[in-house]
Amino acid sequence: MTLLASLRAKLIAASDSERAAQQQAYMKSEMPYHGVAAAKVGAICKEVFAPLVFTKQRDWEEHVRAIWDGAKFREERYCAIALTDVKQARSFQTPESMPLYEKMVVEGAWWDLVDEIATNRVGPIFRAHPKAMRPMMLRWAKDKNMWKARTAILCQCRSREDTDAEFLYACIEPSIASKEFFLRKAIGWALREYARYDMAAVKRYVKKNEARLSGLSKREALKHA
């Protein structure tokens, strides 16, 4: 039995059709849900993935792609993302994994999938390999695909006091005048996270760019001011 088949069988056993309909409506998802709570999805992933041993990045990536590509329900895509975070795959979290994450960002194309990848997969790679990742994230920030641009803006959201402010501003710049809600929201969120560690810097940035930033971005950025 494939990993996807094992996951799907357990998700079906835990499914809730009423919850599934509510989740699909809330997420505005074309892909249906099984109706399984996030904590239960995580427990299922932990159980199914526990015996796995990956010695080669190619093998790990093939399994991730198989689950992602074969997914018929949204929780199955959550499982694919969960497989990218297993302990056995930690050594594979390098710029070499970025084509995989790019695929998932572009094809996922919604915040529940993209944001987890942006903050908890791309972000750690960015912090560990800044020399390789900086030019890539700058290219993504300028990309016509707004989910790649959102990923670039959000990639430092877990960097805390180590946030590179000037680089954050550079990733924001191509989208600063965008009317896209998800880009405006991302700008505000990224600035808000940085403000936890340097509120004064964020206030200066917002003031300097007050006429260009959307109201949403400004409200989010200064939410804790």
pTM over 0.85: yes
So what's the pLDDT on residue 47? 97
Sign of CA dihedral 180, 186, 189, 190: negative
Which single residue is written with the structure tokens 């960015």?
Answer: 126
Domains of the chain (ranges plus CATH)? Answer: 1-92 (1.25.10.90), 102-225 (1.25.10.90)
What string of pLDDT tens digits covers the 225 residues of the chain? 899 999 999 999 999 999 999 999 999 999 999 999 999 999 999 999 999 999 999 999 999 999 999 999 999 999 999 999 999 999 999 999 999 999 999 999 999 999 999 999 999 999 999 999 999 999 999 999 999 999 999 999 999 999 999 999 999 999 999 999 999 999 999 999 999 999 999 999 999 999 999 999 999 999 988
The candidate with the shortest Cα–Cα distance to 134, out of 162, 94, 171, is 171
Token pair listed for 121: 């997969």
pLDDT of residue 1: 81
Ordered DSSP codes for 149-191: HHHHHHTTTT-GGG--HHHHHHHHGGGTT---HHHHHHHHHHH
Model confidence over 118-176: pLDDT tens digits?
999 999 999 999 999 999 999 999 999 999 999 999 999 999 999 999 999 999 999 99
Distances in whole angstroms, Cα of residue 35 to Cα of each of 18, 23, 191: 7, 7, 34
**Phi, psi angles (nearest 5°) of residue 211:** -75, -20
